[in-house]
Chains A and B, each alone.
Chain A
Amino acid sequence: MLQRLEFRAMGCEMLAVIDREAESGVLPQVPDWFEEWEQVLSRFRYDSELTRLNQTHGKPVQVSEVLWQVFRASQQAEQITDGLVTPTLLDAIIQAGYDRPFDVLLPLASGETVSVLTDSWQLTDITVDAAARALTLPPGMGLDFGGIAKGWCTNEAMKRLQAEGPALVNAGGDIAISGPRLDGNPWLIGVTDPFQPHENIEVLSLNAGGVATSGKDRRRWMRNGVLQHHIIDPFTGQPAETDLLRVTVVAPDVIQAEAAAKAAFILGSRIGLEWIEARPQLAALFILVNGEMVYSHRIEEYL
């Protein structure tokens, strides 16, 4: 029997599910976990650990275990995406207008301009002391873990829940699945139609792993008459402009899925598909701005 808990956190609708007969003791704790993680990882909270880290200006700071793990996850994401997904684009995302939670993001007044990223930071610019779990950010550098943080939280919640049974956690579209359901069947995941959001354009069937979707069909806003969105191309410092509207990726875990979906989106349909196909652990479904759908070979395994 599926036990479900829906709540709101990190600016998203959340869903936690356990497949078990007896009542779950941990399921009600999930919102508290997310609140705790958000207090560490949110760049929108002035008193979060991440905000304080971003204000250290060259001083070494010992970070919490949660922030450390997310930092490690973002290092891996940057590595597997060849630098396309990096937490060092805080300046660019703010310059694009995403300087407050999306819930309260309003169209900005005309006359403001969007400038091209001038300082290009890399994670290697950070001094890392693994033994002391300490980070030293260069002066002027800020981190925004973005989707990687949400992916990590989703994965962590799923791992905690799976002690009680097969579990699924969905954080605004980033989905972590622990294993097959009690009856041995896979979990069915609808892929929403961006043009008719209440309908599924496909249904994925997964036993375990992660699913994530990135695109410019939801978190977007107007600035100076130009449509902006939250996926920044690190080469331009601007919201990525490609022929893609949205990318859904299936991966061994949700963090990889999140990173890969963003990377493919930045690369566009042709190179992005090549990038996906070159990685045997990934499968993807692209939806182009013209409505065309493109399937990677391995996505067939999940349809």
Chain B
Amino acid sequence: MPPKPNARNWNDVQTAIATAAIVTTLGMWNLFASPAKAKESDEPAQPDTLPPTEAPTELPVGVFSTPTAMPPVKIIFAQATVSEPATTNVQQPQAQNPTKKKKKKNNNNGGGGGGGGGGGQPVTQTQSS
């Protein structure tokens, strides 16, 4: 069955609307997020902080031949940084007992040579005092 004559045009309109929505969303995001980012930059690295910003990435203009004035948009990609503290993100807490993703489990002496009673078991424990 042949496609409708106007089907392609309708797809173009959909694409244009979607593109405009994305561009507007990212523009507004950047507009309102900027003051907060400036404030954060004065502060030290934090466990859940955002990584350094990537270079601004141009947005596809889509079907607009003459883009309207829009602030430059930055897309921030999450990635670990060297200066960040080692963190282990845990799944969202589930009631009383959240699942913890343990970064490292070290139950022995780290492979050191030999014996000396006590093996790899902790001698004692620390807890909130």
A-side residues, CB < 8 A to B, are 1-2, 12, 15, 17, 147, 150, 168, 170-175, 181-197, 200-205, 211-219, 246, 248, 258, 269-271, 273-274, 277, 286, 290-297, 299-300, 303
Contacts and interface: CB of A to CB of B under 8 A. Distances in A.
A184 B127 CA distance: 26
7 A-B pairs with the lowest CB-CB distances in the bound complex, closest first: A183-B116, A291-B98, A190-B122, A173-B129, A270-B46, A215-B128, A190-B125
Contacts of B118: 2, 181, 185, 188
A136 B4 CA distance: 96
A203 B122 contact: yes
A193 B34 CA distance: 39
A79 B45 CA distance: 25
A296 B88 CA distance: 11
Given A195-B97, A217-B128, A273-B47, A300 B90 contact: no
B56 interface: no
Given A295-B88, A295-B103, A297-B85, A218 B128 contact: yes
Nearest to A17: B123
Given A183-B114, A195-B97, A294-B87, 15 more contacts: A150-B129, A185-B118, A190-B122, A192-B126, A204-B126, A211-B126, A212-B126, A213-B126, A216-B128, A258-B129, A269-B46, A273-B44, A274-B44, A292-B90, A293-B102
Q: From DSSP, what is the main secondary structure of chain B's interface residues?
A: loop
29 contacts: A1-B117, A2-B117, A170-B124, A173-B126, A173-B129, A174-B126, A174-B129, A175-B124, A181-B118, A185-B112, A185-B118, A188-B118, A188-B120, A200-B122, A200-B125, A202-B105, A204-B126, A213-B126, A218-B129, A269-B47, A277-B85, A290-B93, A291-B98, A292-B88, A293-B102, A294-B47, A297-B85, A299-B86, A303-B104
Contacts, number: 163
